Amino acid sequence: MIHTISGWPTAVPDIRPWLVAAGYDVIDDPGALATLRAQKDPPLDGVLYMEAHGGPMPSKVRPEVTRFALYTADDVDVLNEDSDPTLSQDLSLERVVYFGGKAVLDPVTGKTVTFHYGITDAFVDHYWNFARNSLVYLTVCGADGPGAQAFKNAILAANAGVYAGWSQNVHAGRALDAARLVFDRFLGKNDPGASPEFLFKQRPFQWPLVGGDPLQSDLAKHNQGIDTSTGALLSFTPNSIAGFGDFALLAPTIILGQVVEASLPGVPYPAGTLNIFGTFGSDPRRRSRQQGNCGRSGLPSSVRWVAAWPNFVRYTSSSVGRCSGHSPKTRKQ
């Protein structure tokens, strides 16, 4: 989880424990260039959640041209840029640009502006790689706006499964409330701080039901995913490459359970068998660890037979406990 804006509000303290409780390894990253460069090998696995400023920024070599960039935690240090060959190359190739920061009061010269480095689509092309079916969620102004399409396309080209971002400037409170609700629904946490319960607790839901429709999704029903004061919309874009855009949700979900009440001739499943329908992630029998699987899935000892995984599980015991076993971990959140 990356939060680059010191002193600004954040949803990280809320979302982090939900992911940890679901079996994910969560790494907090302040968003410095050194750690942002180290995301290619091994690839980002699972979820990248980032809170930052975003917008069109000029490069060092072509100040008249702007590229959409994400604000990092590093202050601009022009005196030492030439002595850092990696930074110098990143600046010359427009992987890194100058990003305006907040105004500060200098007691000698008066008000001035601080600058941070920002990362562009060229930075993503060179340094980032995602495991299949991973989620990239950006709480960033304009991350899915007209000027950010090259950045979004670079994320998807780096194998991200689903890209979530705002269409234009969004107030921090609206953006953070939406992020809390989205991750609450992906994980089925039902945290009252994210959203009041709707009659009964909600199971984990797939992203199209959470935010796929601006009028009918769960975000819309809770008046989230939109900032009416700016017109910003939160949108989700799946990867169009076959096999890369299959991210669904972050925890297994049960839609329906049916019990076989009587043993019948010719039916191999005896009374007491429980058929469970839902979404459970990758079949843990095939590989002990599948790269890019973004949902916790496992089988308790009562499982005897599985059909049509990942949407159907048959238990031979009516006593069904918590799944155990396979639990994918995310290297970077």
Residue with tokens 């796929």: 212
* Residue 312, pLDDT score: 52
CB atoms near residue 165 (< 10 Å): 27
**Cβ proximity of 323 and 300 under 8 Å:** yes
Task: Tell me which long-range contacts 91-94 makes (C-beta under 8 A, separation of at least 24).
Answer: 91/59, 91/60, 91/61, 92/60, 92/61, 93/122, 93/126, 94/59, 94/61, 94/62, 94/67, 94/120, 94/122
- Residue 23 — left, alpha, or beta (φ > 0 → left; ψ -120 to 50 → alpha)? left
Bridge partner residues of 238 (DSSP): 162
Contacts of 48 (CB under 8 A, 6+ apart): 2, 130, 134, 135, 136, 137, 160, 332, 333
* Residue 14, pLDDT score: 95
Q: How many residues does the chain have?
A: 333
- How far, in Å, CA of 125 to CA of 116, rounded? 21
* Residue 109, pLDDT score: 59
Amino acid at 30: P
What sections of the chain are H helices per DSSP?
12-21, 33-37, 85-92, 121-127, 149-157, 172-187, 207-211, 218-221
Q: List, for the chain, all residue ranges whose pLDDT scores fall below the cut of 70.
A: 40-43, 101-113, 196-198, 242, 280-333
Contacts of 253 (CB under 8 A, 6+ apart): 188, 203, 204, 205, 206, 278, 279, 280
Exposed/middle/buried for residue 240 (C-beta within 10 Å: 0-12, 13-18, 19+): exposed
- How far, in Å, CA of 57 to CA of 221, rounded? 35
- Looking at residue 81, what DSSP letter applies? S
Buried b / exposed e over 259-286, threshold 16 CB at 10 Å, is: ebeeeeeeeebeeebbebebbbbbbbee
**Distance (Å) of CA 218 to CA 162, 208, 254:** 17, 9, 18
Residue with tokens 């496992």: 298
* Residue 213, pLDDT score: 80
* Residue 320, pLDDT score: 30
- Which sequence spans correspond to the domains of the chain? 2-102+118-238, 252-333
Q: What sign for the dihedral angle of Cα 297, 331, 195, 229? A: negative
**Cβ proximity of 68 and 54 under 8 Å:** yes
CB atoms near residue 104 (< 10 Å): 9
- How far, in Å, CA of 260 to CA of 318, rounded? 9
Q: Which of 54, 33, 72, 29 is nearest to 172 (CA)?
A: 54
* Residue 167, pLDDT score: 97
